[in-house]
């Protein structure tokens, strides 16, 4: 990390960490090092440790240093997708016979990776309501090595008290991993609250422009970081140089984007709550949300994700998704443009029939940073 950044604030770190002007040309933005291999000055004479781009690439290094700084961690690792990052973490810390606890509203892809892939290698798992410490305690076994937390969760915006579950994990001899994708490091810093590892889909708010797929791990545990880095190289699902550059470019505006996402979402929530065709709104910023106090304690603001249930059941919810014009019907989230989707049939189709199934009348919004009055007008016309 750049030493002159120590003590500086998030917005400054986001723009500068890992990104000194290029020593040769003075370019203020790190170049895209679109290269696979590096000239050695005699056998083993590496320049700056670079040997082969799966092992390390300067553009990826810049992003990884930046991510570590943003999360207040010792080491960041960038991957080809959020799921590639998760796979690397799971296969690094778990062995056959081990057990992990997963949340009852985990991202569908996370659930699929654990239940359909990792389980085949002799790892078992239990589902818990991570918002309720008693439920987590009940799910623990002597062989539990990992507790997985997503807060706010996807798509029900459930809130987990990170510090509380971190204590529980420590007592149980398990590691706590927090998927920080929905909050981003600007709104929430799980490592400072006791988490061992932070996971990101950088595809979402960190990239922020719906133009790249990527993932990341950040940890302050130096020994674990070494193991993760070994597996990152051994398994090979690294972020390519252009993808790393795009995520870095997105991160420079993360703070201003998250402020606007949060402000717009608060207005959307207000409008939805007042609408007669909306039966329930899920947003941690609402005082009536069961996790509101915890969210207020561990988050700077409440973010841009909003879910709601539509009066009239599943077909009415699908209809609303089909009728918006400005909110684009699509999966993913966290970009500058507003998106709408039906989790039951789209992002969470893979958890259908499991303990993680979501209500059929649920609609999820990724509230973008457009003019909020245009967003409200679109939702009003779509709800009819
Ligand atoms: C999208 C997402 C992932 C998976 O990331 P990919 O980049 O799509 O592989 C994991 N967790 C959450 C919360 C997500 O939204």
**C-alpha 179 – ligand 1 centre gap (Å):** 9
Q: How large is the average pLDDT for residues 105-126?
A: 94
Q: Considering only CA atoms, which of 63, 18, 3 is closest in space to residue 241?
A: 63
Share above pLDDT 90 across residues of the chain, in percent, rounded to a whole number: 92
Residue whose Cα lies nearest atom 7 of ligand 1: it is: 82
CA–centroid distance, residue 153 to ligand 1 (Å): 11
Q: What is the pLDDT of residue 12?
A: 96
CA–centroid distance, residue 242 to ligand 1 (Å): 19
Write out pLDDT tens, residues 333-366. Answer: 999 999 999 999 998 877 777 777 889 999 999 9
Q: Which of 38, 50, 107, 205 is catalytic?
A: 107
For the segment 152-203, what is each residue's pLDDT rounded down to a tens digit? Answer: 998 899 999 999 999 999 999 999 999 999 999 999 999 999 999 999 999 9
Give the distance from CA 227 to its chain's centroid: 21
39 is an active site residue = no
Mean pLDDT is lowest, of 221-225, 228-232, 352-356, for 352-356
pLDDT tens-digit series, residues 8-20: 999 999 999 999 9
Inform me whether the pLDDT recorded for 100 exceeds 70. yes
All residues at 6 or more sequence positions from 65 whose CB lies less than 8 Å from its CB, including other chains? 1, 17, 18, 76
Q: Does domain 3-251 have CATH number 2.60.40.1120?
A: no
Residue 33 has pLDDT above 60, yes or no: yes
Residue 47 Cα to ligand 1 midpoint, Å, equals 35
Q: Which residues of 148-182 are buried (b: 16+ CB within 10 A; e: fewer)?
A: bbbbbbbbbbbbbbbbbbbebbeebebbbbbbbbb
40-54, 75-89, 149-163, 354-368: segment of lowest average pLDDT: 354-368
* Host H or E run for residue 215: strand 215-219
Residue written as token pair 């799910």: 139
Q: What is the DSSP letter of 334?
A: -
What is the rounded distance in angstroms from the CA atom of residue 33 to the CA atom of residue 182?
30
CA distance linking residue 305 with residue 284, whole number of Å: 9
Confidence of residue 1 (pLDDT cuts 50, 70, 90): very low
Q: How many CB atoms lie within 10 A of CB 96?
A: 8
Alpha-carbon distance of 273 to 282, in angstroms, equals: 10
Least confident among 25-29, 62-66, 194-198: 25-29
- In angstroms, rounded to a whole number, what is the distance separating the alpha carbons of residues 333 and 207? 10
Q: Which of 80, 84, 181 to mutate to test the pocket of ligand 1 (most atoms within 8 A of CB)?
A: 181
204 is a catalytic site residue: yes
> Cα torsion at 262, 263, 265, 271 (round to 10°)?
160
**pLDDT at residue 32, rounded to an integer:** 97
Tell me the Ramachandran region of residue 210: left when phi exceeds 0, alpha when psi lies from -120 to 50, beta otherwise: left
Q: 82 CA to middle of ligand 1, Å?
A: 5
Write phi, then psi, for 184 (nearest 5 degrees): 70, 155
What is the Å distance from ligand 1's center to 54 Cα?
Answer: 22
107 is catalytic: yes
Query: Hey, what CATH topology would domain 255-383 get?
Result: 3.90.1150
**Residue 5 pLDDT:** 62
Q: Ligand 1: list residues with CB < 6 Å.
A: 81-83, 107, 109-110, 150, 154, 179, 181-182, 201, 203-204, 213, 215
Residue with CA at minimum distance from ligand 1 atom 6? 82
Query: Ligand 1: which of 201, 217, 244 to mutate, most ligand atoms within 8 Å of CB?
Result: 201
| Whether 105 is catalytic | no
How many Cα atoms occupy the beta-carbon half-sphere of 186 within 13 Å?
A: 26
* Ligand 1 atom at minimum distance from 85 CA: 9
Q: Which atom of ligand 1 is nearest to the CA of 84?
A: 9
97: left (phi over 0), alpha (psi -120 to 50) or beta: left
- pLDDT, average across residues 311-331: 97
pLDDT averaged over every residue in the chain: 95
Task: Give the residue ranges of DSSP H helices in 78-125.
Answer: 82-93, 108-112
Number of DSSP helices (H) and strands (E) in the chain, helices first: 13, 12
pLDDT above 80 (res 320):
yes
Q: Where are the domains of the chain?
A: 3-251, 255-383
Q: Which helix (H) or strand (E) holds 363?
A: strand 362-366
Catalytic residue among 112, 204, 257, 260: 204
> E strands within 108-143?
124-128
**What span, in angstroms and rounded, lies between the C-alpha atoms of 14 and 60?**
15
Residue 224 φ then ψ, to 5° = -65, -40
Kindly report the protein residue whose alpha carbon is nearest to atom 2 of ligand 1: 201
pLDDT of residue 4: 57
CA-to-CA distance for 84 and 201, rounded, in angstroms? 9
Bond from prior residue into 152 cis (ω within 30 degrees of 0) = yes
Distance 83 CA to ligand 1 centre (A): 6
CA–CA dist 264, 266 (Å, integer): 5
Candidates 105, 179, 243, 301; catalytic one: 179
Closest C-alpha among 70, 74, 78, 119 to residue 99: 119
Q: Which atom of ligand 1 is nearest to the CA of 334?
A: 15
């Amino acid at each position: 990390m750049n030493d002159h950044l120590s003590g500086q604030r998030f917005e400054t770190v986001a723009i500068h960490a890992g990104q000194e002007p290029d020593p040769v040309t003075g370019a203020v933005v790190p170049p895209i090092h679109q290269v696979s291999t590096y000239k050695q000055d005699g056998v083993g004479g590496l320049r700056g440790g670079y040997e082969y781009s799966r092992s390390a690439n300067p553009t990826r290094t810049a992003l990884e240093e930046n991510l570590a700084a943003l999360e207040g961690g010792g080491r960041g690792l960038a991957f080809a997708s959020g799921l590639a990052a998760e796979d690397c973490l799971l296969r690094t810390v778990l062995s056959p016979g081990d057990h992990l606890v997963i949340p009852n509203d985990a991202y569908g892809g996370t659930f699929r990776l654990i239940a359909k892939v990792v389980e085949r290698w002799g790892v078992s798992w239990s589902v818990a309501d991570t918002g309720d410490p008693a439920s987590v305690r009940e799910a623990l076994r002597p062989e539990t090595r990992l507790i997985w937390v997503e807060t706010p969760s996807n798509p029900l915006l459930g809130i987990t008290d990170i510090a509380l579950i971190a204590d529980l994990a420590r007592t149980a001899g398990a590691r706590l991993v927090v998927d920080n994708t929905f909050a981003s490091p600007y709104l929430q810093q799980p490592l400072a609250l006791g988490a061992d590892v932070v996971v990101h889909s950088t595809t979402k708010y960190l990239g922020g422009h719906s133009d790249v797929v990527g993932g990341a791990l950040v940890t302050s545990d130096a020994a674990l970081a070494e193991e993760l880095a070994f597996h990152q190289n051994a398994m090979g699902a690294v972020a390519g140089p252009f993808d790393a550059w795009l995520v870095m470019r997105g991160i420079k505006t993360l703070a201003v984007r998250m402020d606007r996402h949060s402000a717009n979402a608060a207005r959307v929530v207000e409008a939805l709550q007042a609408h007669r065709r909306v039966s329930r709104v899920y947003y941690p910023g609402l005082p009536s949300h069961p996790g509101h106090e915890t969210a207020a304690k561990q988050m700077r603001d409440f973010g841009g994700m909003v879910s709601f249930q539509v009066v009239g059941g599943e077909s009415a919810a699908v209809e609303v998704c089909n009728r918006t014009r400005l909110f684009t019907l699509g999966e993913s989230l966290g970009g500058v443009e507003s998106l709408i989707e039906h989790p039951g049939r789209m992002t969470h189709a893979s958890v259908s029939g499991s303990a993680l199934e979501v209500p059929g009348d649920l609609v999820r919004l990724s509230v973008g940073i457009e003019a909020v009055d245009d967003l409200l007008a679109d939702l009003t016309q779509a709800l009819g």
